Amino acid sequence: MRAQTVRKEVVEAAAAYDTLAPRYEDLISENAVIAHSARMSLEIVSRAMSDGEFLLEIGSGIGRETLELAAQGKRVVACDPSRESLRLLRDRAISRGLSDRILTRPIPASSLRELLKEFGPHSFDGSFSSFALSYEPSLRTFPDDVWRLLRPGAPLFCSILNRLCLAELLTGAALWVPRRGFGRLLGTVNLSVDQFSVQARAYATREVLDAFRPRFEVAGIWGLPAIIPPHYLNRLLGPAGGLRAGLENLDRSVNSRWPFCRLGSHTGWLFVSRP
């Protein structure tokens, strides 16, 4: 593997995902790491939201998790700054007969306060944000904003780009792709999204806990993925061949155990809203 030498234009996440949206499902099928992480995220979200009926999704994309939860009988308000992603989500919902269970709102996580006027305080039974919060400039206002929308005791699941990634360290990714490896350690990294690049924030465990602790209690932590290299190193899995399923099963078995739960490419955090 060689370090990427072509610099991509850095744009806002909404613009990048507007372009990627029509081909996002193809990306999942082509990248084994993204596919594995998506499966794990859906499993965790489905379990965490099992008791709720009215859910808030932050960063829905084209609705991979939205549609599955709606199919389980949930009502979902799906928020995303990418209007093209939301358009495709609505089309997919219509094709599956789920449009009456899904509302879409073209807003980022930083604009959640707009939903208070429409739905009222403490109106949602649960909320989830899979791989989207790191595109926000900070976590400063998000915990308080989402807490105001959740009923007391409601679950909140967030998967956030981690500052320290074990697989990157073990594979020497900082040497192969220095803008990724070293950038993550410094807290800011440009992530490739289609032909563009989007700036993302990587957080240390202490930063996340300090941001959420005033409003939420921690109920679970997972590495997503925990021991498999991050998605941009997916070619390292090529030689694994038939061993890939075994590696994915191993990742599944350790991703909630210490220390692996805190050393993944992303950390999945399950919180419970304080009264």
Let me know if residue 4 belongs to a domain: no
Specify the CATH number for the domain of residue 126.
Answer: 3.40.50.150
Of 241, 244, 211, the closest CA to residue 225 belongs to: 244
The answer to whether position 69 is within a domain reads yes
The answer to whether the bond into 225 is cis (omega within 30° of 0) is yes
| 89 belongs to a structural domain | yes
Could you tell me if 184 and 168 are in contact, meaning their C-beta atoms sit under 8 angstroms apart? yes
Is residue 233 domain-resident?
yes
Predicted TM-score of the model (pTM): 0.91
For residue 81, cis peptide bond before it (omega within 30 degrees of 0): no
- Strands, E, within 100-243: which ranges? 102-105, 126-130, 155-161, 188-193, 196-201, 216-224
Whether 238 has a pLDDT exceeding 70, the answer reads no
pLDDT of residue 178: 53
Can you give the C-alpha Rg of the chain in angstroms? 18
pLDDT (tens digit per residue) in 23-64: 888 777 778 888 899 999 999 999 999 999 999 999 999 999
Per-residue pLDDT, 168:
82
Instruction: Using alpha carbons, select from 89, 99, 153, 104 the residue that is nearest to residue 124.
Output: 153
pLDDT interval class at 126 (50, 70, 90)? very high
Q: What is the mean pLDDT of the chain?
A: 89
Give residue-wise pLDDT tens across range 98-117: 999 999 999 999 999 999 99
CA distance 255 to 240: 20
In a domain? residue 3: no
Q: Which residue has the tokens 């990742």?
A: 251
**Longest Cα separation, the chain:** 53
pLDDT band of residue 3 (cuts 50, 70, 90) is very low
Torsion of CA 157, 161, 162, 166, to 10 degrees: 110
Does residue 1 sit within a domain?
no
Give per-residue pLDDT as tens, 156-196.
999 999 998 888 887 765 556 555 656 677 888 887 776 77
* 41 in a structural domain: yes
Count of domains in the chain?
Answer: 1
Report the distance separating Cα 93 and Cα 87, nearest Å. Answer: 10
Domain that holds residue 81: 9-273
Question: Does 59 map to a domain?
Answer: yes
Give the mean model confidence (pLDDT) for residues 105-134: 96
Q: pLDDT band for position 1 (50/70/90)?
A: very low
Strand 216-224 and strand 266-273: pairing? Answer: antiparallel
Count of residues making up the chain: 275
